[in-house]
Structure 1
Amino acid sequence: MAESPGTPNLSFTYVTYLGSPPETVWHALTDAEATAAYWGHSNVSDWKEGSPWEHRRTDGSGIADVVGTVVESVPPKRLVSTWGLPGAPHPGGPSRVTFTIAPYGAIVRLTVRHENLADEAEREQAAAGWAAVMSNLKTYVETGRPLPDEPWRMPPGSASPSST
């Protein structure tokens, strides 16, 4: 796709390795209860190409903080969806998130790529968010429980009280 002059095409890619079969990682990405456990939101969809999906709060309100459409769904290898705020136009169209699950022996490489980010601030926000969520996903998949504290709530650059 050609870029318009002055239109940024910013992206962020995060790669992690998990001691898990691909089917377990796929389930963790697409099951509403699993995503609620490690992400603090339920990802709700039937995960068929063309279907809508919602990133719903787990506080019982049913509010979707992120919405999109499933672009590609190839269990347990690849999931692509659009990503945007409900009712908020995004310059250049919605962003796009691609999860690629590549098996290698008893492990998988999980790559998440978030494309079509509006500006550097959005890219930085995506980088911080994906690092936190993928760390929690890795812990959840490998141990059956998420990290004891939500990593996205940790202030940037903060040190533990014992290190000061």
Structure 2
Amino acid sequence: MAESTFVYVTYIRATPEALWNALTDTDFIPQWWMGVRTETDWTVGGSWKLVFPDGRVADTGEVLEFEPPRRLALKWRNEFRPDLKEEGWSHCLFEVEPQGEAVKLTVTHSIPREHSKLIEAVAGGWPSILSNLKTLIETGRVLIPQRTAEAAEA
């Protein structure tokens, strides 16, 4: 079966535990995800969702793996764009690996569909979101401020 995949790798000056906390602390996530918040209890088999600042649901899914501080896997479906929702479920994997005084973060987002519009969309979104995460952890300030819901959908 054909698949579309986006992989993003970055190195962050942090401990694996600090990065893990930034990835999973539902109160901290909106700071680097430009106002988007996560609703979940991080239980394997449990649900999770991303919610825009205005309350609309952006994405939903299921926690597939939760192995602090190294692996987080999510079943993922876009909910706010009909053309992306129609593509069905994707898979997003966060891998955290210590690298001396830094941590290597690899995000792999894939879907069993060739030429996926969803993967095209996340390829545009993940770099800014993860750059915000890196900058916030390293400097205490975000690189890109909170966006309006309309800008987040673009």
Question: TM tier, shorter chain?
Answer: 0.7 to 0.9
* 8 A contact 1:38–1:145 mirrored in 2: no
TM-score (norm 1): 0.79
RMSD: 2.5
Query: Rg bigger for which structure?
Result: 1
* 8 A contact 1:31–1:44 mirrored in 2: no
Report the identity percentage: 35
2:59 alignment counterpart = 66
The answer on 1:79 being equivalent to 2:75 is: no
* 8 A contact 1:20–1:106 mirrored in 2: yes
> How many matched pairs?
146
* 8 A contact 2:128–2:144 mirrored in 1: no
- 1:147–1:104 distance in 2 versus 1, CA, 3 Å: same
Alignment of 1:84-123 (within 5 A): 84-86=77-79, 90-91=86-87, 93-116=88-111, 118=113, 119-123=115-119
TM-score (norm 2): 0.84
Runs of at least 5 residues in structure 2 that lack an aligned partner in the other structure: none
2:133 corresponds, among 137, 141, 157, to: 137
The answer on 1:51 being equivalent to 2:46 is: yes
* 8 A contact 2:6–2:108 mirrored in 1: yes
- 1:90–1:80 distance in 2 versus 1, CA, 3 Å: farther
Between the aligned partners of 2:102 and 2:8, the Cα distance in structure 1 is: 17
Runs of at least 5 residues in structure 1 that lack an aligned partner in the other structure: 157-164
